[in-house]
Amino acid sequence: MKGYKKLGRNSAHRKSMLRNLVTDLFREGRITTTDMRAKEAGRQAEKLITIAKKGDLHARRQCLEYLFDEDVVTKLFDEIAPGYENRNGGYTRILKLGPRQGDNAEVVYLELV
């Protein structure tokens, strides 16, 4: 069994799309996307928050490697990660919104708890 979904894209496009989704999630706190994309982006976001909870320089550089925006990394370390200090995972939540008009794809909110 694979550890991830391909999402109909090649590896570079998929990685770039997930990086964009996670960067926007940390910037906005909540994003609207399809169900499968939300599940994959949520996995990556959980990993980054766990890394950010360490709070050291190496952790910051690991997050800078993945996220596109330096301001978002600062927000992750200063605001988001300290809020989850006593929580061992489950930092994101998926709320279903229903099918999309054009192609009937399941649309969801992906948000930070």
**Residue-number span of the structural domain to which 55 is assigned:** 11-112
How do residues 40-77 score in pLDDT, each as one tens digit?
999 999 999 999 999 999 999 999 999 999 999 999 99
Confidence class of residue 5 from pLDDT cuts 50, 70 and 90? confident
pLDDT at position 77: 96
CATH number, position 30 = 3.90.1030.10
In a domain, 51, yes or no: yes
Report the alpha-carbon distance of residue 78 to residue 20 in Å, rounded. Answer: 20
pLDDT confidence bin for 3, thresholds 50/70/90: confident
In sequence order, the 6+-apart residues with CB closer than 8 A to the CB of 69 are: 23, 27
Is residue 2 assigned to a domain? no
Q: How many CB atoms lie within 10 A of CB 22?
A: 29
The number of domains in the chain is 1
Residues 23-31: what's their mean pLDDT? 96
